[in-house]
């Protein structure tokens, strides 16, 4: 799986958009970009994934650059409950491929 | 609720002992993953099973073993426990078919070795 680089921490004011960047410059054509988050000591929670097109669901939006070397997870209106560690993972598509977590970005949402 | 069930939620045991952690995946999911998270550490991938067979192995100690049964539940066996094995142990499951599939995590088992 390709290596990812994320800032160790970020702050965001409640109600504002949180934009979390991820660099995955060695991503290959058959690798997807996944985002998970972990709220303190809970099991990680799946957020969104994409291959090359931008994706949106009820939780977030995922913007992937045209060269696929980086992506941004957008939480449009961050709340205190979004305070968590966010993990960007690139993962080969296919049968039950391994899911490896890096160190992630610790997002602190403040009043 | 992710649909992945882990038991027990908490476990306290002494050094040198052996414990078994259990994971019931979501209905229909064929793939099971085990992770270890020590205090203030990241999620370390241990091992993955797919439809009963070992698929990938990470940083799993020789004292640890796992298996996936025909009904697809999985067990992680930890033996000769040491203080450093104290951690949260997470199980995740996914459908595991071709294409992009997300994994769903259980709430973990907190193991304390004293």
> Which of the 8 DSSP states describes residue B40?
T
In the beta sheet, which residues pair with residue A19? A74
Tens of pLDDT, residue by residue over A5-26, are: 999 999 999 999 999 999 999 9
Q: How many CB atoms lie within 10 A of CB B59?
A: 10
DSSP assignment of A76-90 equals TT--GGG-EEEEEEE
pLDDT digits (tens, 9 = 90+) for B56-99: 888 899 999 999 999 999 999 999 999 999 999 999 998 865 55
Query: B27 to chain A, minimum CA–CA distance in Å?
Result: 16
Closest-CA distance of chain B to residue A7, Å: 15
Contact status of A51 with chain B (Cβ, < 8 Å)? yes
Per the CB < 8 A criterion, the answer to whether A29 and A94 are in contact is no
DSSP label at residue B87:
E
Selection from A104, A91, A103 nearest residue A49 by Cα: A91
**A48: β partners:** A35
For strands B104-105 and B74-78, give the pairing.
unpaired
B55: nearest Cα among B42, B68, B70:
B68
Give residue A101's pLDDT band: very low, low, confident or very high (50, 70, 90): confident
Long-range pairs of A55-64 with CB within 8 A, sequence gap ≥ 24 = A60/A35, A62/A33, A62/A35, A64/A33
Question: Is any Cβ of chain B less than 8 angstroms from the Cβ of A93?
Answer: yes
Round to whole Å and give the CA distance between B53 and B69: 9
pLDDT at A77 over 90: yes
Q: Which pLDDT belongs to residue B103?
A: 87
Residue A3: strand, helix, or coil: coil
Q: What is the pLDDT of residues B9-26, one digit of tens each?
A: 999 999 999 999 999 999
Residue B84: helix, strand or coil by DSSP? helix
Given A32, A87, A94, which is nearest B98 (Cβ)? A94
Q: How confident is the model at residue B41 (pLDDT cuts 50, 70, 90)?
A: confident
Q: Check: CB of residue A75 under 8 Å from CB of residue A17.
A: yes
């Amino acid at each position: 799986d390709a290596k990812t680089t994320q800032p160790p921490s970020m702050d965001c004011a409640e109600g504002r958009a949180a934009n979390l960047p991820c660099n995955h410059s060695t991503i290959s054509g058959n690798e997807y970009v996944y985002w998970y988050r972990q709220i303190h000591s809970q099991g990680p929670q799946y957020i969104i994934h994409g291959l090359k097109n931008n994706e949106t669901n009820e939780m977030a939006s995922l913007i992937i650059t045209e060269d696929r070397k980086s992506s941004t997870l957008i939480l449009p209106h961050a709340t205190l409950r979004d305070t968590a560690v966010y993990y960007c993972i690139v993962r080969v598509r296919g049968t039950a491929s391994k899911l490896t977590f890096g160190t992630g970005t610790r997002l602190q949402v403040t009043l | 609720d992710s649909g992945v069930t882990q038991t027990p939620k908490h476990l306290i045991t002494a050094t040198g002992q052996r414990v078994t952690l259990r994971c019931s995946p979501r209905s229909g999911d064929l793939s099971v993953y085990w992770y270890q998270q020590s205090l203030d550490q990241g999620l370390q991938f241990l091992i993955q099973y797919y439809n009963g067979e070992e698929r990938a192995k990470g940083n799993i100690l020789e004292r640890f073993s796992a298996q996936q049964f025909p009904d697809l539940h999985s067990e992680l066996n930890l033996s000769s426990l040491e203080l450093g094995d104290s951690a949260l142990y997470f199980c995740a499951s996914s459908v595991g078919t071709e294409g992009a599939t997300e994994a769903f995590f259980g709430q973990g088992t907190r193991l304390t070795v004293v």
